Amino acid sequence: MKNKIIKIVKWYLIIHIAVSSVLLIDYTFFVKESTKITWEGRSYPIAKMILLGPLNILYFK
């Protein structure tokens, strides 16, 4: 049971990071300026948001 949970979490992280990086590349190519303003305005480093994305769910609960 424990191994099953670890596998699910691992795949969730892999998929999340893959999707986030694809979206990030799209953002930087198509809306460079607005992305820059949005992320700097919130003062979140983009890399931190990609890596901590799954953990943000825990913070909001």
Question: What is the structure's pLDDT at 43?
Answer: 47
Where is mean pLDDT largest: 5-9, 39-43, 51-55, 57-61? 5-9
Q: Residue 36 half-sphere exposure, CB side, CA atoms within 13 Å? A: 6
Give the tokens for residue 55: 């953990």
Q: Given this model, what pLDDT does residue 61 score?
A: 42
Global pTM value? 0.39
φ, ψ at 55 (rounded to 5°): -75, -25
Query: Could you give the C-alpha distances from 8 to 4, 44, 48, in angstroms and in order?
Result: 6, 27, 22
Residue found by looking up tokens 């930087």 in the block: 28
Quote the pLDDT of residue 29: 56
Note the pLDDT tens digit of each residue in 1-41: 788 888 888 888 888 777 776 666 565 555 555 545 454 44
